[in-house]
Amino acid sequence: MKAAIVTQYNKNDLTLKMTTVDKPQITADQVLLKVSAAGVNLLDNMITRGEVKLIVPYKLPVIGGNEVVGKIEAVGANVTQFSVGERVFSRLPLDSIGAFAEYVAVDANAIAKVPPYLSDVQAAAIPLTALTVMQAFELMQVKKGNTIFISGGTGGVGAMAIPLAKAKGLKVITNGSVENKERVLALGVDRFIDYKTEDYTQTVANVDYVLDTLGGQETEKQMTIMKRGGQLVSLKGMPNGAFAKRMGFTGLKRLLFSFAGRKFDKMAKKYGVTYNFIFVQANGAQLAEVAKLFTKLELKPSLDTVYAFSDVNAALDKVANGRSRGKTVLDLQQGENNGLSFN
């Protein structure tokens, strides 16, 4: 089968090698998917750059890709909840990625059925981002009626987080570029802030939760608008000791993460809030919950550009360097193209 392979860690060259490898064999607890579409994410480039080696030390070469949609071609002996022919999607388990291939073997507890009204390309835009949001909400222990600030809400994470937050009964505030204001308001946001004309640290206060999609200096700025006892979950900050504990790390690795995140823990203590870093994990049950929410509300993800599988490196470059208004997706069912834009 064809597959796009990470052959080496390289901070400057994110190119994957398109090659032919054996079709994977499944275990008793897995299913074999014929891949129809795959989401393309910043995480894919982070893996190639070696930026997640401490969290997941992949043994190279490894097939790239974390987010997949496909039809089940075979099921393992212990798999009873899924059948051959069903259309499913997944954020692949951390230790067994490989969405950028014609076939992938996936643990049955990492998949969920795709809502019937979504196309394969649309479905490929959901698992990783939606699970990031759901797992962030779980860490925050969100409660209906409370307020969340989603930084950079005009990006792909924001586009997913806003409707899911509204489905949880939260009041949603976000900021971003004004050209995306109407699109974000249509997602249900209660208040939109144009980052060029309004400083949210001067006009927003008493927020219960923050989903930090920006990192850097923005992390501390966001802490200043929170209630004491509030919960901030960052996608772009540094892993800390609490993260290492949740991941089950021990010894030196746990010590390293505790040291790396100490600055953010001290910062959070200063403002009387809790800081958490998140690295999204596979969870079929949570993804099934997402599918139910999408079906109930008839949500559709925001798409940016769709590429043919042969253009995987162009897609990765787009994610690394282009300004996106939604998800970049590989469509394994179409021929070569130059990137179909939905903007």
119-123 mean pLDDT: 98
In a domain, 59, yes or no: yes
Rounded CA-CA distance 336/328 in Å is 15
Rounded to whole angstroms, what are the CA distances from 36 to 119, 143, 196, 282, 330?
10, 37, 40, 19, 9
Residue that terminates a domain, selected from 238, 261, 277: 277
In a domain, 332, yes or no: yes
Q: Tokens at residue 154, please? A: 């005009």
Tell me, what's the pLDDT at 198?
Answer: 96
Q: Give me the domain span that covers residue 65.
A: 2-126+301-341
Q: How many structural domains are present in the chain?
A: 2
Residue 97 has pLDDT above 60, yes or no: yes
- 196 and 265 assigned to the same domain: yes
* Mean pLDDT rounded to a whole number for the chain: 94
In a domain, 7, yes or no: yes
Specify the range with the lowest mean pLDDT, choosing from 195-199, 258-262, 295-299.
295-299
Rounded CA-CA distance 112/31 in Å is 12
- 72 and 168 assigned to the same domain: no
The secondary structure element, H or E, covering residue 173 is: strand 171-176
Tell me, what's the pLDDT at 342?
Answer: 56
- 259 and 309 assigned to the same domain: no
Residue that terminates a domain, selected from 262, 277, 292: 277
- 156 and 137 assigned to the same domain: yes
In a domain, 294, yes or no: no
- 187 and 75 assigned to the same domain: no
Tell me, what's the pLDDT at 52?
Answer: 92
Kindly indicate the confidence band of residue 343, based on its pLDDT and cuts at 50, 70 and 90: low
Residues 204-232 pLDDT 10s: 999 999 999 999 999 999 999 999 999 99
- 223 and 205 assigned to the same domain: yes
122 within 8 A of 23, measured Cβ to Cβ: no
Rounded CA-CA distance 204/200 in Å is 5
246 within 8 A of 253, measured Cβ to Cβ: no
**The amino acid at 241:** G
Rounded CA-CA distance 45/43 in Å is 5
275 within 8 A of 267, measured Cβ to Cβ: yes
- The single-letter DSSP state of residue 282 is -
- 85 and 158 assigned to the same domain: no
The predicted model scores a pTM of 0.91
Q: Tokens at residue 101, please? A: 């291939």
Kindly indicate the confidence band of residue 340, based on its pLDDT and cuts at 50, 70 and 90: low
Give the three-class secondary structure for 209. strand
111-115 mean pLDDT: 98
Strands 274-277 and 226-234 turn out to be parallel
Q: Tell me the CATH number at 220.
A: 3.40.50.720
Residues 171-188 pLDDT 10s: 999 999 898 899 899 989
Strands 30-40 and 327-331 turn out to be antiparallel
- 138 and 256 assigned to the same domain: yes
In a domain, 292, yes or no: no
